[in-house]
Amino acid sequence: MILIGEKINVGIQAVQWAVAERDASFIDDLIDRQTRAGCHYLDLHAGCGNEPGRRVADDLKWLIDRALIAGQQPLCLDCPDPEILRRAAAHLAGRRRLLLNSLTAAPARLEAMLDLAMAHNAGVIALAMDDQGVPPNVCRRLEMCEQIYRRAADAGLPPDRLYFDAIVQPLTANPEGAAVTLETIASLRRHFPAAETVIGLSNISYGMVKRRTVNRVFAAMAVAHGVGAMILDPTDMALQTVIHTAAQLAGGERRSL
Q: Quote the CA–CA distance of 178 and 180 in Å, as a whole number.
A: 5
Tell me what pLDDT residue 53 has.
63
Question: Which residues of the chain fall below pLDDT 70?
Answer: 53, 252-257
Q: How many Å is the maximal CA-CA distance in the chain?
A: 49
Tell me what pLDDT residue 54 has.
74
Tell me what pLDDT residue 66 has.
99
Tell me what pLDDT residue 255 has.
45
Q: Domain 2-249 carries which CATH code?
A: 3.20.20.20
Tell me what pLDDT residue 49 has.
82
Strands 2-9 and 229-232, by their bridges, are parallel
Tell me what pLDDT residue 50 has.
81
User: What is the value of pTM for the model shown?
Assistant: 0.95
Q: Where are the domains of the chain?
A: 2-249
Tell me what pLDDT residue 25 has.
99
45-93 pLDDT tens trace: 999 988 776 799 999 999 999 999 999 999 999 999 999 999 999 999 9
- My answer on whether omega of the bond before 102 falls inside 30° of 0, hence cis, is yes
Phi and psi, residue 231, nearest 5°: -90, 120
